[in-house]
Structure 1
Amino acid sequence: MQQLNISFEVGLDRRYRDMRECFASCVYSKGLGRVAAAIDVAPSNLSAMLAGDRNLDSTLVEKYMAEFGDTTPAMYWAAKHLQCATTRQQAALAQLPSLVDQLNRLMAEAGKTP
């Protein structure tokens, strides 16, 4: 058995409400018409699927990832379902020092001292 190592983009699991929203973001960034043609779906049907009016078949997401080489939907699922709470907490704690530095800089620019 081979071990798979995945590096998660910080906050990817919190950026989107669900997979549909993640996939919609991917589709609209590439262009609805272009993606619809690539995955062999009418643009109006794809738009309805992304809006939640129709079922979004997971094979369409797979076709999208294969066609465009964009693994964001898979990474979203992995980040949402494969990370343990400890890993999420460690990632959040690791961001705190840079956020404190950024806040201190902004306060200094605003004329306020920490």
Structure 2
Amino acid sequence: MKLPPVDPARLDEEWRADQDVLANLRENGDQSDIPRPVDVSFRGSPDALDDLADAAEELGFEVIETEPSEDGEPWLFLQRTQTSDADAIKALTIICLQIEAMFGLEYDGWGCVAQTGLTH
């Protein structure tokens, strides 16, 4: 599947937001080289979300769930396992912005749990 190019201004906007999340992870003792599930979310028309859900595996993601919203545009949550180092997160953001453009959706960011390497 050929993904479209990313708008550089949109990437800059998302990358600034990513920096805050990465800083928060570091503050919580995250070891960025430990692979972990990373969730991403998209919002849009049910048909576009269905199309993305059908293509998720080919794009390297697993479908987690769809959540309804009050305004009729539901959310689709996808997940993949990866590290949280800056290069890996920037690559994730780029593919998510490509997905946003290709499927006519709104990308709403990513999230994961800090991995400290400690077991409780």
TM over 0.5: no
* Structure with greater helix percent: 1
Name the larger-Rg structure.
1
Query: What's the TM-score once normalised by structure 2's chain length?
Result: 0.20
Q: Looking at both structures, which has the greater relative contact order when contacts are Cα pairs under 8 Å and sequence separation is at least 6?
A: 2
* Structure with greater strand percent: 2
